[in-house]
Amino acid sequence: MTQPQTVLITGASSGFGKGTAQSFLDRGWNVIASMRKPDARLFKSTPDRLLVLPLDVTSPESIGNALEQGIRTFGGIDVVVNNAGIGLLSAFEVTPEHILREVFETNTFGVMNVCRAVIPHMRDRGQGTIINVTSSAGIAPMPLVAVYAASKCAVEGFTESLSYEMELVGIRMRLVEPGLAPSTNFGANSGPRLQGLTPPPYGEFAQAYLHRMQNYPTHYSTEKDIVEAVFAAATDPGDRLRYPAGPDTKLFAGLRWTTSEENYLAEMRNMFRPALTS
């Protein structure tokens, strides 16, 4: 009988991470659901296929402990989904240095930390897939998310470059790019970081911009869009790198990659101009 494959997911306590973990469980995989504060009650599964562990992506020691326990429990790790991240809506000029660094420590360096830790294990096995979850903001940055977009753009470049190296040792690199999904509440995990970060004149623009986004140019992404994209990335035997997830990301990806720079920028500016001039 074929043994089930094993996936480790970071940031699995809520949102895309939780949905992704449950999806893999429902499909018969072994799942290592990692989060800062473990809670196995979040998932429906038989105990022999679910391992819920503490993992802080900013701590190499925490990552190492989680990988060691996961490998010991299931014999190996086939797929890693770097999903952990924090959102930020802010005017760049008033964003404190410590918040900027906090975002990068989790969204960018956290991804790198997990990759560095798991690559030797996958290299020794001669196979594995690493999926880095970024954002439509990594394709088409929007206003007031300059720090967040920068953290995700960095992961886009990192993953593409690393993919060529990893081909040498049998590891596939993937990028899943979720769109805007209101159901996940982008700012919920930002907490006090958001306070006072859109002062005048940015506050008026932010309100007009958010009102403008009620007439979003396409349908929003859903959790299902992202969950299905992650599973496709995990099981695709080909060499595809990017998996835009959700109709909005697909729209922005098409605009970015299949039209001229001038047309892309004109379309993006037109989307925000009513907010800029209101």
Which residues are marked as active site?
A: 148
Q: Which of 19, 12, 252, 22 is nearest to 135 (CA)?
A: 252
DSSP state of 6: E
Widest CA span of the chain, in angstroms?
Answer: 64
Relative orientation angle of helices 97-107 and 109-125, to the nearest 10 degrees: 20
For the chain, how far is it from start to end, CA to CA, in angstroms?
64
Strand order, beta sheet including 50-54: 50-54, 30-35, 6-9, 79-82, 128-133, 171-178, 242-245
The DSSP annotation for 209-277 comes to: HHHHGGG-SSPPP-HHHHHHHHHHHHH--S---EEEESHHHHHHHHHHHHS-HHHHHHHHHHHHHHHHH
Residues in the chain: 278
CB 37 within 8 A of CB 58: no
